[in-house]
A and B are shown apart, each in its own frame.
Chain A
Amino acid sequence: MTATPGYGVTLRGVTQRFGDTVALDGVDLEIRPGTITGLLGRNGSGKTTLGSLVAAFRRPTSGQVLVDGEDPWENERTAPGVCLVRESGDVLDEDRLRDNLDFFAGARPTFDRAFAAELMDLFELDPKSKPSKLSRGKKSAFGITIGLASRAPLTVLDEVHLGLDAPSRYAFYDALLADYLAHPRTIVLSSHLIEEIERLLEDVVVLDRGRVLLTQDADSLRAEGVSVTGPQDAVDAFVAGRTVLGTQRLGRTAQVTVRGGLTDADVARARATGLDLGPVPLQDLFVHLTDPRRRDGAAPAHAESEVLP
Chain B
Amino acid sequence: MSTATASRTVATGRRTSPLTHALRRQLGVAAYLAGWYWAIALVVLLVATLIVWRVNGAVDVSVVAYARQSAIWFPFSQAILLVAALLRPHLAAGMTRRTFVRASLVTAVSTGLGYTLVLSALLLVERALHTAVGWDAEILEQGFELTGRDFPAMVAELGPALVLANLCGLLVGVVYHRFGGWWGTVTLPLTVLPIVATLALAGEWFGSLPALDGVLSGPADAPLLTGAVLVVVTAGAYAALTRSTPVRTPR
* A202 interface contact, C-beta 8 A: yes
B33-64 contact mask (Cβ, 8 Å, vs A): 1 or 0? 00000000000000000000000000000000
Known: A80-B95, A82-B94, A108-B93. A88 touches B8 (CB 8 A): no
What's the minimum C-beta distance from B248 to chain A, rounded to whole angstroms? 9
Contact B249 A88 (CB under 8 A): yes
Contact A202 B246 (CB under 8 A): no
**Partner of A58 from B18, B25, B95, B246 at Cβ < 8 Å:** B246
Contact B11 A153 (CB under 8 A): yes
Contact A52 B247 (CB under 8 A): yes
> Bound complex: CA of A145 vs CA of B73, how far in Å?
38
Contact A181 B3 (CB under 8 A): yes
Closest to A107 in B: B93
Q: Which of B91, B94, B97, B249 has the most CB of A within 10 A?
A: B94
**Partner of B9 from A55, A92, A183, A202 at Cβ < 8 Å:** A183
> Bound complex: CA of A52 vs CA of B247, how far in Å?
8
Contact B250 A88 (CB under 8 A): yes
> Bound complex: CA of A57 vs CA of B177, how far in Å?
13
* B209 interface contact, C-beta 8 A: no
What's the minimum C-beta distance from A88 to chain B, rounded to whole angstroms? 5
* A110 interface contact, C-beta 8 A: yes
A39-69 contact mask (Cβ, 8 Å, vs B): 1 or 0? 0000000001000100111110000000000
Interface size range of chain B in the complex: 35 or more
1-21 of chain A: CB within 8 A of chain B? 1, 5-6
A83-108 contact mask (Cβ, 8 Å, vs B): 1 or 0? 11110101111100000100110111
Contact B92 A108 (CB under 8 A): no
What's the minimum C-beta distance from B22 to chain A, rounded to whole angstroms? 8
Which residues does chain B contribute within 8 Å of A6, judged by CB atoms?
9
Interface size range of chain A in the complex: 35 or more
Closest to A102 in B: B25
Contact B94 A107 (CB under 8 A): yes
B1-40 contact mask (Cβ, 8 Å, vs A): 1 or 0? 1010011111111111010010011000000000000000
Which residues does chain A contribute within 8 Å of B102, judged by CB atoms?
none
Contact A106 B96 (CB under 8 A): no
* A298 interface contact, C-beta 8 A: no
> Bound complex: CA of A52 vs CA of B248, how far in Å?
10
Which residues does chain A contribute within 8 Å of B249, judged by CB atoms?
48, 86, 88
Known: A5-B3, A79-B96, A103-B25. A108 touches B15 (CB 8 A): yes
Q: Which of B8, B10, B12, B93 has the most CB of A within 10 A?
A: B93
* B212 interface contact, C-beta 8 A: no
Which residues does chain A contribute within 8 Å of B247, judged by CB atoms?
52, 57-58, 90
Which residues does chain B contribute within 8 Å of A91, judged by CB atoms?
89, 92
B238-251 contact mask (Cβ, 8 Å, vs A): 1 or 0? 00000110110110
> Bound complex: CA of A274 vs CA of B222, how far in Å?
97
Contact B1 A107 (CB under 8 A): no
* A161 interface contact, C-beta 8 A: no
* B85 interface contact, C-beta 8 A: yes
Known: A1-B10, A88-B249. A81 touches B94 (CB 8 A): yes
What's the minimum C-beta distance from B27 to chain A, rounded to whole angstroms? 14
59-107 of chain B: CB within 8 A of chain A? 85-86, 88-89, 91-98
What's the minimum C-beta distance from B244 to chain A, rounded to whole angstroms? 8
> Bound complex: CA of A5 vs CA of B86, how far in Å?
31
Which residues does chain B contribute within 8 Å of A106, judged by CB atoms?
15-16, 21, 24
Known: A52-B247, A103-B89. A153 touches B9 (CB 8 A): yes
* A264 interface contact, C-beta 8 A: no
* A184 interface contact, C-beta 8 A: yes
Which residues does chain B contribute within 8 Å of A251, judged by CB atoms?
none
8 more contacts with CB within 8 A, not counting A55-B91, A76-B18, A152-B11, are: A5-B3, A5-B6, A36-B1, A57-B91, A86-B249, A103-B25, A109-B14, A153-B10
List 5 interface pairs A-B (beta carbons < 8 Å), by A numbering: A5-B3, A82-B94, A107-B95, A109-B14, A185-B9
